[in-house]
Each structure stands twice: as C-alpha cells, then as structure tokens.
Amino acid sequence: MPTSAPEWNGALLTAAGLGAGYGAIRVLEQVDITVHAGQVAALVGPNGAGKSTLLKALSGMIPKTAGRVTFAGQDITRLTTQACGRLGLVHVIEGHRVLPSLTVEENLLLAALDQPAAARRTRVDEAYEVFPEIGEKRALRAGTLSGGQQQMLVIAQGIVRHPKLLLLDEPSAGLAPVLIDRVLEVVSGFRTRGTAVFLVEQAVEKALRMADRVYALVHGRIVLDTDAQSARQPGVLERAYLGAAHAAS
Amino acid sequence: MVITILVAGIATGAIYAMIGISYNLMYATSKVVSFTPGQLGMIGAVFGAWFIGVLGFPLWIGFLAAMGVSIVFGYFTERVTVRPVLKSIEQHLYVLTTLAAAMMIQQVVAIWWGTDPRPFPHLFGLGTGLASEKYWLPVVACFVVFIALEWFYRKTLWGAAFIAVAEDVEAARALGIPDVRVRVLSYCLAAFVGALAGFWGGQLLLAFFALGATLTFYGFVPIALGGLGSNRGALIGGFFLGILQQTANYFVGGVFVGVVTFVVFITLLVLVPGGLYGTAIARRV
Amino acid sequence: MATGLEAIASTELPGVAGRRSRAVLGVAAAVLAAMLLPFTVNHYWMQIGTLAFVYWVLIAGLDLIVGYAGALAVGFVGLLTIGAYTASILCEKAGWPAFAALLAAGTAGALFGFLIGLPSLRLKSFYFAMTTLGFSTIVTQVALGWESLTGGGIGLPGPMFPAPFDSPVGFYYLAFGMALIATYLLRNIAFSNFGRGLVAVRDAEVAAEAVGVPITRLKLMTFTLSGILAGMAGALFAARQTYITPDAFTFDLSVLFFIAVLIGGRGRVVGPMIGTVILTLLPEIAAPLVMWSNFLYAALLLLVVLLVPGGIAEFLERLFGKAVKGGGLEAPVPERLNAVLGEHASPKALTLEGVALHFGGVRALDGVSLTVRPGTVHGLIGPNGSGKTTLLNAASGFYTANAGRIAFGEAALTARSSDERAALGIGRTFQTPRVVGNLSVLENAMLGAYRQFTVHFPAVALGSRRGVKEDAAVRQRAVDALVAVGLRRLAHLRADQLQHTEQRLLEIARCLVMRPSILLLDEPAAGLSHDEIEHLRALIEHIRSLGVAILLVEHHADLVFQVSDEVTVLDVGRVLAHGAPAEVRVNAEVINAYLGT
C-alpha cells in the first residue's frame, strides 16, 4: 500500500511551467510535476503526448524553453545530464539502449565511471544481486543479450548509479508478459530502498497499481494530477484524455 | 627491386595508416570527417624539424613539444570548427569549417616556415640504405599506435567510455559519461597520432608546408578502402596504398603515382561505398 | 522569378509586386557600370575587372553545383586547369584559332564536368569533397608531369585572341561578354523547374524523388553545363595570363571559387556575383597582406559558415527586405481541383499481390494483397508497426519488395525506381512532411509538375520561349492547387516557415499538381483540428470524384470509416481484415488488435 511522502522531506523534484521541444516544434507546455522522496509517480498518456520529451527535459538531455526545475532543493534547470546524475537524478532512457559492443560488465562499470575503482566494484556486484541473470552473462557483449535482459541491464545501470530519483522510460516496452512483471517488481523494489521513481509506462494498469501519484500528459500538457487511488477509478483516465482531445479541437 | 618497393611502400603505408587512424579517432566520437588529419602530420614534421633541427632540442623534448603543438591545433579543431556545427550535423557544415582550419594552419606554416621543403633531422642515426631508420621508424610507430589503441579500447574503462560515446552518444550521456570531454580527448588523441605520422615519418616526408594537403588525401584513401571507423581497415588500406604507390612509381614514374592513387580511390568508393570493414547505409524514409 | 508570370500569379496571391522592377533597375545599373569601367579607371584595375569576369564565368557554373545542387565541389580548379591547357595546347601546338580553342576548352570542360558528376551520384558531403580535391591535385600533377604536351614546369603560352580582343580593353569586353552569357545561362536554369529540382535534391532528396525528379540525369546535366563554363573560363584565364604553368592553378584558387558561392549565399544568383567581386578585390585592397590572402579566404569561410550560413544575400535581405507575412490558412476550395487535375488523371488501379518485405530478420510486410480502384478511397489502418508506411514505401518505390507483385494499371512496378513511379502518376505524401524548406510554398507546389515539362535542359539554359510558357502554365496550376487546399495566403512564404499541419496540406497540393492517377496519403490528418479534418474530408472526397484512386493511411479511425469505400486492416505485416467500412468496424479481431488493449 503506497504511503504518502513525509512532509518534512519536502519535494525531491519539482518542475514548474516547464516547456521544451525540438527546434521550432514545441512539445511540452506549462508542465508542473512534483515527485516526493521515496515515491513512485507514474506518467501516462497516449503516443506522441511528449512523455519521453518530459523525462529528457527533466534530466537535461534536451534544453528547456521555459520554466524551472529543482531537485533536492537545488535549481537544476540549466544543469547537464552528468551534473544531474551526480546529484542523484538518473535517467534510464527508453528502448533498452545498452552499449552493444561492450560487455555486460563494462556496461555496468561505465555507469559508475566517476566512482573510485573499489566503489565501482561493490556497486556493480550489488546490481548483480538484484539481477542474477545479468551476472551470469557479465563477460558477454551486451548486444548479444535478449531484449528482456537488455532492459534489465539498463535498469541495473540505473542501480549502479545510486539514484535518489530514477526516471524510467517505458521499462516494459517490448517485453514478454512474464518479464513485464519481473521488471515492474524491481521498480517497486526501488521504493523499498528509498529510491523515488518517475515512471513512464505503457502497461498503464500495472503502473497504476504500484504508483503513489499519477500524471497524465496529453498533447504536451498535464491533464491529470492525482493520487493513484483516484486515478484507478473507472473512467478517470479516459475522461482526462478525452477532455484534452476536445479542448484541442 | 621488389625489396625496395616493399620497404618504401610499407614505410609510407605506415604513415598513411596513422593519418587514417587519426581520421577514425575524430570520426568515432563526433561522426565528423575532418579535413585536418594531413595537417596534423605536417605539424609533426615541420615542428619536429624546427624544435630538433633548428632549435637543437634533445630528441624526446623536441618530440613532446611537436606533439604539444599538434594537440593544441587538435583542440582548436574540436572547439572552433566542430562543436558549433555538431547540432546540425546533417548539413555537413563541418566539411567547410575543418577545411578552413586546415587551410589556415597550412598558410601560417607556409609564411613562417617557408614554402620549400627542408630536411628533417636524423633522430637516432641508425641503419643505412634500406635498413635506415627513416624506413622503419614510421612502421614501428604505426604498430605501437595500433596496439596501444587496441589496449586502450579493450582494457581500460576510459577506452570503454570512448566506445560508448562512439556507439550511442545519447545512451552514453544518459549514463553519466562526460561525452563532451570524451570528444575533446579524442580530438587531442587524433592530433597526437596524426603528428606521430609526420614526426616519425619526417625523414621520409621532409618538413614541408604542403605535406598537409597530400597527407589529407593519401591518408583518406585507406579509410575509403578499409571503411570509416575501422583502425584495422586503415592499417591494411595504408599498407596497400603505400605498396601500390611505390609500384606505380617504379613502373610509370613519379608524377603519375597520384593518378593511379586517384583512380583506385574513385573505383573503391564507387564499388565498395562502405569499405571492407564499414557499416551498411541507413534507411532514409 | 520568370518574367511575365507574376502578372498571372499576382492577381490572386499577395506580396509579389515591386520586386521585379527593382531587380531590372539593379541589373541595368550593374551592366552600365561594367561597360564604362575601362573609361574610368587605369589599366591595372581594368585587368582586375577582367579577372573577376573570368572567375565569374566559372563561378556561375559552380553556383549551380554548390549553391543549387548542394554538392561540395571544392576542387573546381581542376576544370579550370583542363580548360586552360586544352586551349593553350591547341593554339600553341596545333595552331588552332583562339575562338575554336575556346570552344574546345568548353568541350573538354563538359567531358570532365560530366566525369566529376558521376561520383557525386554515389558520394555524399565529405567523400565527394575529397574526390574533387583529389581530382584537382591530380590534374596539376599531370600538367607538371606530361612535359611533352604541357611543357611541364616551364609551361606554355596561352591563346591569343584576334583583334579587337587582343588589346587589354578588347579582352576586357570579351570577358565581360562571356560573363553576361554565363549569367544568362545560370539565371535561366536557376529560375526554371530544373533549378527548383536541384534545390529539392539538395534539401529534400526524398521529396525530389517523390515528385519524379530524375536525380541522376539532372545532376549530370548540371555538372556538364558547369564543366563547359569552367573549361571556357580556363581558356580565358590562360589568355589573360598570356603564359601558364601548373603553379598558376593552386588549390587556393579552388577555395576562392567555392567561397565566392558560399559567401554569396546558396541557391542565389546575385549573391555569388557579389562574392566573386569581393574575393577578386580582397588581395588588392589588402595589398600589404597579400601573402595572407589564402589565410583570409579560409578565415572568411569559417566566419561565414559559423556566423552567416545564408551568406551575403540572406544578410542583405534581413537588412533591407520586408518581412513577408503569411495570412493563415483558408477554407479549401475543392472545386478548384477541376482546373488542377484537368482530364489528365487517367484512371488506373494499384494492385499489390502477396507483397513481402523484410529488414534483416524482421518481416515488415508478410504477403499483403490489396487493390486500390480509381475513383475510390481505400483506407489502410492498423496498430503502430503493422507495416502501413512500409506498404506505402513499397508502392511508391522507396523500398523494393522482396517478393510479390505490384502493378499500376497495366504497368508492373516492382522493378521501377521511385521517380519513374512518380512519372507514371503515383503521388504520395509523408508522415513527416517532406517539403523543400528553402523554396517558397508556391515553388514547392510547382515541383509537382516536374515530369510534365517537355523542354530539355539545354533549351531552358538557352532561354527557350516554350520553357517560359510551360512554366507559366504550371505556376497557374500550382496557384489553383494552393487555393484548393487553402494555402493561398501562404503561397509566398518559405516552406519551412509553415507549421507542420500546413506542410501536410502543401504536400497534398504538390501531389495534385502532379495530376496523379493515385494518391498515397500517409496520416494526413495527424495534428489537424476537428474543423480541419472536416476540410480534409471534403478535399479527399472531391479528389475521388475526379477519378483519382486514393490510398489513405490514417490513425484517425473516424475519418477513415467515413470517407473510405473499402478498408484494409494490417497487423504485423499481414492483412487482418478487409471489406466495406461497416463490416470492418464490427470485426472482432480488428477491435482486439487495433481498438483494444
């Protein structure tokens, strides 16, 4: 059962009035998001709504055109992805983009490039504990893994980086149903370790089951911002989507 | 005769291969094919000759100084001519900016150093005739570079970071790898390797301002043959070209060596667009 | 743009008048100034003027290559060298008269221009630049090495033109005349459908193919023309030098030519002309820096690329030009389509039988059969990745099917290239609109008629009247098409100033100007508002009523079911269902695959 974030901790991540896009194309407008420490927040929305763009804007992968982002009380609006990562804001991008010609182990060690060698080792071993099936393949090239294993590898890369908040982009996309559960189980595991997660997920029902907070993004705008219980009520999401579609036309 | 062709061919081939590797190093992390590798070789030769032959620096000090000059130019290339146009890489503006950088350094050297070729000093004074150091120094340098790079890529984590940026810069960035620093380093490394070619091949090439243009072209032929991004391809292509040129030189005479090279180059590009070790062409629609 | 045509267009389109009279005035003033130059300055400066004209003869041709076709030909000095040596050798060794040698130099230039053009078909950007650089290096080496013919390093005298062109003043006017001719040729091509085609090849090759631009032929003809100009420039250059050695043809000269085009602005005529004058004068003005002139050229190149990628022309326009404003979308006027499509839309059906296509191991299409009949709308729906766009690509020739048969009317398509299929009357739009950003909306629409021009490249270059007439007719048809889709008030904007949804309409207009027998529409309604979708529906229905077949790929299920005569549903590369919209809509499998989850 999700617990609400402790008030004294304040918000871990806040975005206010965020705008972003590619060149002349504006994808996001006036996006407000708050994620509390130790929470799982789910971001849902139809294809092309701008979900991945939002994650990229939050983690500094693409520049923001408007608004402000703070993380752990610090303004990170203009920080690079690396700087965000050092603060504990870690982005696992979509499409299980492992580094195919490097070994599994190298893929993980690289995630801790900024750590001393000993710490690197410990963290990688930690990740193997969470995903034993990855540990078995440590000497193989990442490109030879199956899609599911690659997805576990990129999440393992996230674990190695000891995030305070993990931005997870469609971790279950393209996975067999068994694997989806396995991956989402790991995501819930993050919460138990005190890591907050901001999750973009296609398997909406499953995502809602584990989330504390739900945001729906349609046409680059947040159309729903509610706790997970209300979002699970029948019709709530649909109405949010439809309402936005009508407003646009 | 066969021995002469082989010795001279392998020596010049090693120089071309190093220039080719310099192309690869820049390409890997930025996907930019720069017009500057030949100029890096020229810097190695001219500044090597200046520091050691003119100013009388000891060999290794002079070597490091020449490499230093080249690395500064390598950094300039990345910072001024590549980074500003990377965002719109599909417009290929880097072709023009790096060409401009190459012409600028060439003209500066032409004015300062003069337009006549000058001899490059003997470095160790080892060997005579076909066993002279001028033939085997570039070959040794070339293999050292090749093996060192293989070691770097396979055995060190920073080497893995280079591969990561080369393979998928966005994934690497998301992983916290400092992709910009990696790119800058790879340009400096490329400058180092390019200058090595000019320095250790200096006795063969002479210290000459126009070396840059020639090496830029001849160093690219191995790339066209071996495929952009493949150091092994550059090595094989370099030796192939070196031997081909020396053979042509023997049979049809010096001036038409260029014609032979050009014909081979065009034929290769049109018949095997990706090179022997190259990658396939991406889909467009 | 082409004379007399704006009169037609301007009756309906805003923002045209005034530009032409200003341009005529400017040209007249420039010509007069050039005519009077020998009477106003001393011989030295007149010689500089001669040199600028000689350079311009070459640069006018290079402008088509670099500025229009966008090929990075950095080694054009090679062609100048060939022209210079051809003329000089013929005069010196064979005793040819100078004018015959001039023509021979043009012929040699044409031959080598054609040869340089060949690799440009396969090689992009750096590779092609390197090829031309290699070419110019080799030409100089041959000039140096082939002593019996070229005199090697000693060189040989250039051609001597007969009186009255043997005096410096006479030669000045000869060079001036040649420069005028070069300008005329350049202008004729630049402002014709060939010029538009070249810009399309440069900026949006896929769009060029989709409207049927035969890229190979167009590029080779352009290279040949610039070869002629470069070769003749070489002969003039040799005559002006009076004596040539290989040293005269350094690579720096090549870069000068190249930069003249770039600082002038790509896809322009006047800009590169100004660029030529500036670059010819630069070493004279900066006399103490003459040894640095190559450095300055290079620095200029770097600065232009980094700071003003559009060159002088764009810079001046920004300074003096009035901002062109668009008037927003209008409601479409489908009735205007009757004029656009005429009776040319011959009814033909598109048939696919068992078409299969795979990428590596992935089967994108796995034995798809369907028929699109003339005068009907065939809706194609399916989940993401089901192969809809792949099917359009297979039908329009961007992909080659691995198995199966594709026929259009009587013609088997499978082996034909995309531009040939366009010529047969297959028009298509793209999910991400492919428009030529640097051309105006009107010019983009005109591109659609590329294959309907009957005049040939050489005739257009020489100013054929028929070409001008055809251009006028196409312009009118393009205006009609723009009115029909509702883009009238945006016609004079650059296409990249349009929004995505407007670009989709522009693609449709461009297809209509093709007078297609079939239209393949890839998600035309994406991003459109409710009203705009209604407009689109009316447009599609009207196109259908004129006998055109339409294959509609669309996510917007309502639109598809409303407008289609039959619907095919794809799922993982196979046909899941096919039939009348009402049947398909209630098909349980379809609901599961598409509407469910």
- Rounded distance, CA C321 to CA C571, Å? 52
Q: Compute the average pLDDT of residues A184-197.
A: 87
Say which residues have a Cβ less than 8 Å from residue C543's Cβ, sequence separation at least 6. C334, C337, C341, C512, C519, C550
Torsion of CA B213, B218, B220, B225, to 10 degrees: 170
User: Which one has a higher pLDDT value, C309 or C256?
Assistant: C256
**Three-state secondary structure call for residue C164:** coil
Q: For chain B, say whether C133 makes contact (Cβ under 8 Å).
A: yes
For residues B33 and C424, give the distance between their C-alpha atoms in angstroms, rounded to a whole number: 40
Determine how β-strand A196-200 pairs with β-strand A74-75.
Answer: unpaired
The residues, any chain, with a CB within 8 Å of residue C523's CB and separated by 6 or more, are C431, C553, C554, C555
Query: Which of A47, A248, A249 shows the shortest C-beta gap to C384?
Result: A47
Identify all chain A residues contacting B157, using CB atoms and an 8 Å cutoff: 106, 109-110, 113
C134 chain-B contacts, CB cut-off 8 A? 217, 261-262, 265-266
Instruction: Kindly write down the DSSP assignment for every residue of C466-529, as one continuous string.
Output: HHHHHHHHHHHHHHHHHHHHT-GGGTTSBGGGS-HHHHHHHHHHHHHHT--SEEEEESTTTT--
In total, the C-beta contacts within 8 angstroms joining chain A to chain C are 6
Q: Which residue has the tokens 């191991």?
A: C361
ipTM passes above 0.95: no
A68 is written with which tokens?
A: 């402000």
Q: Which pLDDT value is given to residue C480? A: 92
Mean pLDDT of B44-57: 96
Q: What is the pLDDT at residue A183?
A: 82
Question: Mean per-residue pLDDT for C499-512?
Answer: 89
Across the range B88-103, mean pLDDT stands at 88
- Residue C14's pLDDT is 52
Distance CA C140, CA C150 (A): 11
Residue A66, pLDDT > 70, answer yes
Q: Is the pLDDT of residue C94 over 80?
A: yes
For the segment C540-566, the average pLDDT, to the nearest whole number, is 90
- Residues in contact with B144: Cβ distance below 8 Å, sequence separation at least 6, in sequence order: none
Shortest CA distance from C532: residue in chain A: A249
pTM: 0.85
> Which pLDDT value is given to residue A7?
40
- The residue with greater pLDDT, A187 or C565, is C565
Nearest CA in chain B to A160: B175
Question: Which pLDDT band, with edges at 50, 70 and 90, does C104 fall under?
Answer: very high
Q: Extract the tokens encoding A169.
A: 């982009």
| Full strand arrangement of the beta sheet holding A40-44 | A89-92, A165-169, A196-200, A40-44, A213-218, A221-227
Q: Give the range with max mean pLDDT: A52-61, C319-328, C487-496.
A: A52-61
Give residue A243's pLDDT: 60
| pLDDT value at residue C13 | 61
Q: How confident is the model at residue A249 (pLDDT cuts 50, 70, 90)?
A: very low
Is-contact A209 A240, C-beta < 8 A? no
**Residue C537: predicted pLDDT:** 92
Q: What is the pLDDT of residue C573?
A: 86
Cross-strand partners of A34? A14
Residue B284 structure tokens: 């467009």
Pick the residue with more confidence: A119 or B255?
A: A119
Q: Which residues of B touch C (CB under 8 A)?
A: 33, 35, 80-81, 84-85, 92-93, 95-97, 99-101, 103-104, 106-108, 111, 213-214, 216-217, 220, 224, 253-256, 258-259, 261-262, 265-266, 269-270, 273, 283-285
Provide the 8-state DSSP code for B85. G
Distances (CA, A) of C507 to A24, C12, C115, C472: 19, 20, 35, 21
Per-residue pLDDT tens for C378-409? 999 887 778 888 899 999 988 888 889 999 98
Secondary structure (3-state) at C309: coil
Q: Summarize the confidence of residues C301-306 as an average pLDDT.
A: 88
**pLDDT for the residue numbered C597:** 37
For residues A152 and A172, what is the distance between their CA atoms, to the nearest angstrom?
A: 10
Q: Does the structure show a pLDDT above 90 at B143?
A: yes
| The pLDDT value given to residue C483 | 92
**Of the ranges A12-26, B219-233, C90-104, C132-146, the best mean pLDDT one:** C90-104
Per-residue confidence band for C1, with pLDDT thresholds at 50, 70 and 90: very low
Long-range contact set of residues C40-43: C-beta below 8 Å, sequence gap at least 24: C43/C168
Instruction: Please check the confidence at residue C298 and state whether its pLDDT lies above 80.
Output: yes
**Mutate which: B19, B87, B99, B284, vs C, most C CBs within 10 A:** B99
Q: Torsions phi, psi of C464, nearest 5?
A: -55, 135
Record the tokens describing residue C292, joined without a space: 């640095």
Query: Is the pLDDT assigned to residue C38 strictly greater than 90?
Result: no
CB A138 within 8 A of CB A103: yes
| Rounded percentage of chain B residues whose pLDDT exceeds 90 | 75
Q: Is the pLDDT of residue C366 over 80?
A: yes
| Nearest residue to B68 (alpha-carbon basis) of B52, B88, B44 | B44
Assess whether pLDDT exceeds 50 at residue A6: no
Confidence of residue A165 (pLDDT cuts 50, 70, 90): very high
Residue type, A130: V
Distance from the A249 Cα atom to the nearest Cα atom in chain C, whole angstroms: 5
CB nearest to A249's CB, from C384, C500, C530: C530
pLDDT of residue A80: 92
Residues 6+ apart with CB under 8 A from C558: none
Assess whether pLDDT exceeds 80 at residue C21: no
CA distances from B108 to B46, B103, C293, C299, C386 (A): 12, 9, 11, 12, 59
Measure Cα distances from B202 to B245, B257, C522 in Å: 18, 20, 60
Q: Return the beta strands (E) in C261-383 as ranges.
A: 350-359, 362-372, 377-381
Is A3 a residue whose pLDDT tops 70? no
Compute the average pLDDT of residues B133-139.
94
Select from A81, A110, A161 the Cβ nearest to the Cβ of B160.
A110
Can you give the pLDDT at residue B281? 41
- The pairing of strands A221-227 and A213-218 is antiparallel
Q: What is the pLDDT of residue A116?
A: 93
Binned at pLDDT 50, 70 and 90, residue C320 comes out as low
Angle (CA) C296-C302-C303 rounded to 5° is 85
Tell me which amino acid residue B179 is.
D
Helix axis angle, B94-113 to C251-264, nearest 10°:
140
pLDDT greater than 50 at residue C589: yes
Query: Per-residue pLDDT tens for C477-505?
Result: 999 999 999 898 888 888 888 877 889 89
Q: Judge whether C380 and C587 are in contact, CB under 8 Å.
A: no
Q: Residue B162: pLDDT above 70?
A: yes
**Residue-by-residue DSSP string for C81-98:** HHHHHHHHHHHHHH---H
For residue B82, the chain C residue with the least C-alpha distance is: C306
Question: What average pLDDT does the segment B9-16 reach?
Answer: 96
Mutate to test the interface with A, among C504, C530, C559, C595 (most CBs of A within 10 A): C530
Better-scored residue on pLDDT, B17 or C134:
B17
Longest dimension (CA), chain A: 57
Of B104, B105, B83, the C-alpha closest to B94 is B83
| pLDDT at residue C182 is higher than 90 | yes
| Cβ contact B96–C299 (<8 Å) | no
Mean pLDDT of chain A: 85
Q: How far apart are CA C264 and CA C316, in angstroms?
A: 10
Percent share of chain C, pLDDT over 90: 46
DSSP state of A233: S
Structure tokens at C233: 């420039």
Of residues B163, B172, B173, nearest to A101 (C-beta): B163
> What size, in residues, is chain C?
597
The string of DSSP letters for C424-436 reads TTEEE--SS----
The predicted pLDDT at position C284 comes to 80
The contact set of B with A (CB < 8 A) is 157, 160-161, 163-164, 167-168, 170-178
Contact of C246 with C140, CB cutoff 8 Å: yes
Least confident segment among A54-58, A192-196, B5-9, B249-253? B249-253
Mean local confidence (pLDDT), B40-69: 96
Pairing mode of beta strands A40-44, A213-218: parallel
Q: What is the pLDDT of residues B247-262, one digit of tens each?
A: 998 888 777 788 888 8
> pLDDT band at residue C20, thresholds of 50, 70 and 90?
low
* Amino acid letter, C348: K
- pLDDT surpassing 70 at residue B171: yes
Q: Evaluate whether C380 touches C570 at the Cβ level (below 8 Å).
A: yes
Which residues lie closer than 8 Å to C494 by C-beta, 6 or more apart? Answer: C437, C438, C439, C440, C441
Q: How crowded is residue A25: how many other Cβ atoms within 10 Å of its Cβ?
A: 9
Q: Of the candidates B81, B103, B254, which has its C-beta nearest C294's C-beta?
A: B103
Cβ(C222)–Cβ(C68) below 8 Å: yes
Dist CA C82 CA C90 (whole Å): 12
Mean pLDDT confidence for C433-443: 91
Candidates A242, A204, A211; CA nearest to A229 is: A211
Residues near C573 by beta carbon (within 8 Å), at least 6 away in sequence: C356, C363, C364, C365, C366, C368, C386, C387, C390
Q: List CB contacts (< 8 A) between B178 and chain A.
A: 82
More confident residue, B255 or C412: C412
User: Rounded mean pLDDT of C171-175?
Assistant: 95
Mean pLDDT (chain C) is 87
Q: Which residues of C touch B213 (CB under 8 A)?
A: 133, 137, 251
Asked whether residue C18 carries a pLDDT value surpassing 80, the answer given is no
Q: For chain C, which chains pass the contact test of at least 3 CB pairs under 8 Å?
A: A, B
B contact chains, 3+ CB pairs < 8 A: A, C
Comparing B177-186, B267-276, C467-476, which segment has the lowest mean pLDDT?
Answer: B267-276
Q: Which range, C186-190, C320-324, C365-369, has the best average confidence (pLDDT)?
A: C186-190
The CA distance from C528 to C307, in Å, is 36
Closest by CA to A121, choosing from A131, A130, A111, is A111
Q: Up-side HSE of residue C401: CA atoms within 13 Å toward CB?
A: 27
Closest residue by Cα to residue B74 from B122, B23, B113, B4:
B23
Of residues A49 and C171, more confidently modeled: C171
Please, which pLDDT band fits residue B283 given cuts at 50, 70 and 90? very low
> C298 and B101: CB-CB below 8 Å?
yes
Mean pLDDT to the nearest integer, A74-95: 92
Determine the residue of chain A that is closest to B155 in CA distance.
A106
Query: What pLDDT, on a 0 to 100 scale, did the predictor assign at position B204?
Result: 93
pLDDT value of residue C5: 39
CB contact under 8 A, C305 and B259: no
Residue B121 has φ and ψ, to the nearest 5°, of -65, 155
Three-state helix/strand/coil letters over A160-177: HCCCCEEEEECCCCCCCH
| CA-closest candidate to residue C135, choices C154, C121, C117 | C117
**At C596, is the pLDDT very low, low, confident or very high (cuts 50, 70, 90)?**
very low
Report whether pLDDT(C528) > 80.
no
pLDDT recorded at residue A242: 60
- For residue A119, give how far its alpha carbon lies from the nearest alpha carbon of chain B (Å): 14
- pLDDT attached to residue C363: 81
Q: Does C326 score more than 80 pLDDT?
A: no
CA distance C365 to C401: 9
Confidence bin at A172 (pLDDT 50/70/90):
confident
Q: How many residues does chain A have?
A: 249
What pLDDT is recorded for position C12?
A: 62
The yes-or-no verdict on residue C540 having pLDDT over 60 is yes
Residues A127-156: what's their mean pLDDT?
A: 91
What pLDDT, on a 0 to 100 scale, did the predictor assign at position C310? 76
pLDDT at B65 over 50: yes
Q: Are B262 and C135 in contact (CB under 8 A)?
A: yes
